[in-house]
């Protein structure tokens, strides 16, 4: 029975290290929850699969039954819990051969009071007094926390922050040997609270391995760190399509089509690899080479289409296809999801604003008014993309070969 005072607690997820150097250590990742007094302990067997890129180690979650987490179990601990009791609970939950006697933070500092552990900390347990933990992952933690230049992996010097995404910070990094620039995304392992978020990380890694195209961002490296998954993507230093639209108010038809042709090529290629992006929007179209080349990025919500079915409906509401917004996409052609988003993207480029917040019933009834500001030929073309019924919506082949698209391509050569 819990005592009457407020007892702070931590959500603890346990990662069992299976490589040789960690044979007798287990990493416990903690995420604080105030006003509760329950340790959620979940044993995960897939942490070792975050090693640097290889098709075998970075496959989709569920490749092997050994990578699926066991059922989460709970133990009640008050704020006055002693380290000895914490170690006993860890031994029981982890099935360790003996009770841990010491715990260290990832930087090598010894933990002497369980209440000193903060959100996102990783703890390493030692099973004997002779063992110690020198620390690892300090550089990635420093870089991800904005602590200045640091070397991550074998060769990446991390620099300024470029932005923040759904999983964490993105920083510019330079290869100290070659001078190559990349955008390094730091994905905190503490954010993987469930299978869905872990699958999303694996999906993006796998998808970026599959796709090699001039108009799709390329992954250059993937680094496993005790606290983060760090992966390095091709660096695009000229902002994104959203920045360009905001700077100019809106784009001319010729400018819009210049970028749109490239985006369509990238999307068509991803579809040829059975990959649906599911979150196409100007913010996910990066610009490089003096804003003359665009590359599709952020495949975190992408869907690798297989016979096993499709992922849950998700994405940015303003660009969602109606069937996704209504939760009915599993019964329709998944590739048509990207086609709808391409239509919305064209409207945004030409008008400088998002035409609607979500494809509600009222919006679908007023699509003719929404595309009215567009030039006549473009309006007719976009109408084929923004069909509420995916069965009537243009296919990706029709998107590429429509008379409007072919006409513009040859006109640009004259």
CATH code for the domain of 345: 1.10.510.10
Question: Band of the pLDDT at 91, cuts 50, 70, 90?
Answer: confident
48: its two tokens:
């070792």
Q: Looking at the domain assignment, is residue 118 inside a domain?
A: yes
Question: Band of the pLDDT at 394, cuts 50, 70, 90?
Answer: very high
Give residue 99's pLDDT.
87
Higher pLDDT, 204 or 316: 316
- Residues 212 and 97 placed together within one structural domain of the fold: no
Q: Average pLDDT in the 215-234 region?
A: 86
Higher pLDDT, 32 or 63: 32
Q: Average pLDDT in the 319-327 region?
A: 90
Range of the domain at 382: 241-411
Contact (Cβ atoms closer than 8 angstroms) between residue 34 and residue 7: no
Question: Band of the pLDDT at 132, cuts 50, 70, 90?
Answer: low
- Residues 142 and 268 placed together within one structural domain of the fold: no
DSSP 204-224: HHHHHHH---TTB--EEEEEE
pLDDT over 90 (residue 253): yes
- Residues 253 and 378 placed together within one structural domain of the fold: yes
- Residues 13 and 76 placed together within one structural domain of the fold: yes
- Residues 383 and 272 placed together within one structural domain of the fold: yes
Higher pLDDT, 156 or 310: 156
- Residues 318 and 401 placed together within one structural domain of the fold: yes
Q: Looking at the domain assignment, is residue 227 inside a domain?
A: yes
Give the whole-angstrom CA distance, residue 181 versus residue 233. Answer: 9
Give the whole-angstrom CA distance, residue 96 versus residue 130. Answer: 17
Q: Looking at the domain assignment, is residue 393 inside a domain?
A: yes
- Residues 35 and 170 placed together within one structural domain of the fold: no
Give residue 330's pLDDT.
77
Find the CATH number of the domain harbouring 181.
3.30.200.20
Instruction: Supply the DSSP symbol for 41.
Output: E
Q: Scanning the structure block, which residue is given the tokens 């552990």?
A: 117
Q: Looking at the domain assignment, is residue 132 inside a domain?
A: no
Range with the largest mean pLDDT of 21-30, 43-52, 182-191, 201-210: 182-191
pLDDT per residue as tens digits for the range 351-366: 999 999 889 998 888 9
Backbone dihedral angles phi then psi of residue 290, each to the nearest 5 degrees: 65, 35
Give residue 142's pLDDT.
56
% of the chain at pLDDT higher than 90: 35
**pTM tops 0.85, yes or no:** no
Question: Band of the pLDDT at 336, cuts 50, 70, 90?
Answer: very high
Contact (Cβ atoms closer than 8 angstroms) between residue 265 and residue 215: yes
382: its two tokens:
């976009």
pLDDT over 50 (residue 405): yes
Ranking 66-75, 138-147, 387-396 by mean pLDDT, the lowest is 66-75
Give residue 150's pLDDT.
72
Ranking 111-115, 217-221, 232-236, 253-257 by mean pLDDT, the lowest is 111-115
- Residues 373 and 317 placed together within one structural domain of the fold: yes
Give residue 349's pLDDT.
97
- Residues 327 and 401 placed together within one structural domain of the fold: yes
pLDDT per residue as tens digits for the range 146-202: 555 577 887 888 888 888 766 678 889 999 889 999 999 888 877 766 667 777 777
Q: Looking at the domain assignment, is residue 1 inside a domain?
A: no
- Residues 355 and 250 placed together within one structural domain of the fold: yes
Question: Among all residues, which ones are annotated catalytic?
Answer: 279
Q: Average pLDDT in the 20-32 region?
A: 41
Average pLDDT, the chain: 73
Q: Looking at the domain assignment, is residue 245 inside a domain?
A: yes
Domain boundary among 234, 252, 274: 234
Higher pLDDT, 103 or 176: 176
Q: Average pLDDT in the 20-34 region?
A: 40
Q: Looking at the domain assignment, is residue 3 inside a domain?
A: no
Give residue 206's pLDDT.
76
The CA distances from residue 380 to 181, 345, 375, 411, in Å, are: 42, 15, 9, 18
Q: Average pLDDT in the 394-408 region?
A: 91
- Per the structure, how many domains does the chain have? 3
The CA distances from residue 243 to 44, 203, 246, 286, in Å, are: 40, 27, 5, 9
pLDDT over 90 (residue 54): no
pLDDT over 90 (residue 249): yes
- Residues 383 and 330 placed together within one structural domain of the fold: yes
Q: Average pLDDT in the 49-60 region?
A: 27
Domain boundary among 207, 234, 261: 234
Domain boundary among 194, 214, 234: 234
The interaxial angle of helices 253-272 and 403-411, nearest 10 deg, is 120
Ranking 83-92, 379-388, 393-402 by mean pLDDT, the lowest is 83-92
Question: Band of the pLDDT at 223, cuts 50, 70, 90?
Answer: confident
């Amino acid at each position: 029975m819990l005592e009457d005072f407020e007892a702070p607690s931590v959500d603890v997820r346990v990662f069992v290290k299976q490589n040789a150097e960690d044979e007798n250590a287990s990493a416990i990742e903690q995420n604080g929850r105030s006003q509760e007094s329950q340790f959620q302990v979940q044993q995960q067997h897939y942490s070792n699969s975050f090693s640097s890129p290889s098709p075998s180690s970075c496959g989709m979650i569920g490749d092997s039954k050994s990578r699926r987490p066991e059922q989460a179990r709970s133990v009640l601990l008050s704020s006055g819990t002693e380290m000895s009791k914490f170690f006993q609970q860890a031994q029981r939950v982890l099935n360790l051969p003996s009770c841990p006697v010491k715990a260290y933070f990832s930087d090598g500092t010894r933990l002497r009071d369980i209440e000193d552990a903060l959100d996102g900390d990783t703890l390493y347990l030692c099973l004997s007094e002779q063992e110690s933990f020198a620390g690892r992952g300090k550089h990635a933690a420093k870089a991800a926390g904005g602590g200045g230049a640091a070397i991550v992996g074998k060769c990446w010097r991390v620099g300024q922050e470029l932005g923040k995404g759904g999983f964490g910070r993105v920083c510019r990094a330079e290869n100290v040997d070659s001078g190559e620039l990349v955008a390094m995304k730091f994905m905190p392992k503490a954010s993987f609270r469930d299978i869905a978020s872990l699958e999303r990380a694996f999906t993006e890694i796998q998808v970026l391995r599959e796709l090699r195209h001039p108009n799709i961002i390329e992954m250059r490296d993937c680094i496993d760190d005790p606290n983060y998954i760090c992966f390095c993507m091709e660096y695009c230093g000229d902002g994104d399509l959203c920045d360009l639209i905001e700077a100019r108010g809106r784009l001319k038809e010729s400018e819009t089509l210049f970028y749109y042709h490239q985006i369509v090529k990238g999307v068509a290629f991803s579809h040829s690899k059975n990959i649906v992006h599911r979150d196409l929007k100007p913010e996910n179209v990066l610009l490089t080479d003096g804003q003359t080349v665009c590359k599709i990025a952020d495949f975190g919500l992408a869907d690798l289409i297989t016979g096993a079915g499709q992922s849950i409906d998700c994405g940015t509401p303003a660009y969602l296809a109606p069937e996704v917004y209504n939760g009915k996409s599993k019964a329709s052609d998944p590739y048509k999801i990207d086609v709808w988003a391409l239509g919305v993207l064209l409207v945004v480029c030409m008008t400088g604003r998002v035409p609607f917040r979500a494809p509600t019933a009222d919006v679908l009834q007023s699509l003719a008014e929404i595309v009215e500001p567009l030039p006549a030929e473009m309006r007719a073309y976009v109408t084929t993309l923004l069909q509420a019924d995916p069965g009537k919506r243009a296919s990706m082949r029709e998107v590429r070969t429509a008379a409007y698209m072919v006409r513009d391509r040859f006109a640009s050569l004259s």
